[in-house]
């Protein structure tokens, strides 16, 4: 199936590893011109080399901390200027630390919101003038299944990511008349560095082992395993593509059935 992505111009935040990197690879494979961002310049360079090796397409790289408003504006503007526009935006960030409500102060909450809400908001705001000039404009926010089913010991993430979902749905309604689509993917435990870190923390708390926690988490899926970043990327690229032209305002759970709710 031709997803209609050839010649599109895409910006993928958090593109140096995990879900963001695999999404950038898949977009590049589909013929999109891709720009990637991450805080760590060395990891970003490594990611760019991997994308080029896999797809024979060299991505643009823009290191920078997305919790800094001026940096967000600069890198989006520079990427759009170099590519000659912007059609696709993937807003993706890391997650705040695990812990319980009483462990965090106002500074912790502000830092978490800067990461899991304001970074998404600022990326979209900076990209919007360019998206308005696109005939294939699509935005994908990467959030978490925690917006439907809070994850134990992740209070900062559980609360903050819900705001990003509210933003995504609101913008789908507000900007649909300008032919800009907004969707979100709600991943659960996938085989990423972030998840391994969370499960390592859980193993320490439960006095078990990482392997035991991986096995326990895998058993929560009817498929008996955690998902891979590549499986996530397949869903992400479809939602971004013109093949999904009548899909907007959707919150897609990519979770291997771990979420047990009906809706």
Q: Render pLDDT for 217-244 as a digit per residue (tens, 0 to 9).
A: 999 999 999 999 999 999 999 999 999 9
Domain ranges of the chain: 9-190+229-254
Look at residue 101 in the predicted model and tell me its pLDDT.
97
pLDDT for residue 1 is more than 80: no
Flag whether the pTM goes above 0.75: yes
Could you count the other beta carbons within 10 Å of the beta carbon of residue 43? 15
pLDDT digits (tens, 9 = 90+) for 143-152: 999 999 998 8
CATH class of 9-190+229-254: alpha beta
Distance CA 100, CA 196 (A): 19
Contact 67, 115 (CB under 8 A): yes
Q: What CA–CA distance (Å, rounded) separates 23 from 88?
A: 12
CB-side exposure of 118: number of CA atoms within 13 Å?
A: 16
What is the length of the chain? 263
For residue 238, the SS3 value is helix
The share of the chain scoring above pLDDT 70, in percent, equals 100
- Provide mean pLDDT across the span 13-24: 96
Residues 150-157 have a mean pLDDT of 92
CB contact at 8 A, 123 and 10: no
Q: What pLDDT is stored for residue 108 in this prediction?
A: 97
Band of pLDDT at residue 198, cut at 50, 70 and 90:
confident
Query: How many CA atoms lie within 13 Å of 203's alpha carbon, on the beta-carbon side?
Result: 16
Region 154-177 average pLDDT = 96
- Determine the angle formed by the axes of helices 210-219 and 193-206, rounding to 10 degrees: 110
Q: What is the pLDDT of residues 58-70, one digit of tens each?
A: 999 999 999 999 9
Q: Which residues contact 55 (CB under 8 A, 6 or more apart)?
A: 25, 28, 29
């Amino acid at each position: 199936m031709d997803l209609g992505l050839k010649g599109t111009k895409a910006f993928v935040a958090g593109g140096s590893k995990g879900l963001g990197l695999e999404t950038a690879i898949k977009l590049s494979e589909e013929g999109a011109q891709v720009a990637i961002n991450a805080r760590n310049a060395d990891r970003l360079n490594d990611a760019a080399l991997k994308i080029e090796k896999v797809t024979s397409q060299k991505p643009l790289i823009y290191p920078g901390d997305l919790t800094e408003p001026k940096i967000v504006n600069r890198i989006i503007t520079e990427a759009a200027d170099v590519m000659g526009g912007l059609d696709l935006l993937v807003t993706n960030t890391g997650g705040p630390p695990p812990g319980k409500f009483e462990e965090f102060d106002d500074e912790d909450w502000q830092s978490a919101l800067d990461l899991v809400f304001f970074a998404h908001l600022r990326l979209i705001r900076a990209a919007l003038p360019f998206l308005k000039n696109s005939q294939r404009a699509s935005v994908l926010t990467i959030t978490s299944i925690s917006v439907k089913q809070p994850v134990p010991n992740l209070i900062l993430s559980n609360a903050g990511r819900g705001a990003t979902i509210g933003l995504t749905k609101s913008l789908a309604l507000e900007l649909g008349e300008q032919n800009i689509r907004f969707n979100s993917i709600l991943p659960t435990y996938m085989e990423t560095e972030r998840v391994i870190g969370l499960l390592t923390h859980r193993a320490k708390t439960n006095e078990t082992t990482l392997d035991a926690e991986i096995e326990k988490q895998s058993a929560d899926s009817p498929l008996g395993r955690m998902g891979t970043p590549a499986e996530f990327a397949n869903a992400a690229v479809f939602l971004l593509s013109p093949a999904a032209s009548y899909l907007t305002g959707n919150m897609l759970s990519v979770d291997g059935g771990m979420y047990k709710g009906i809706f």
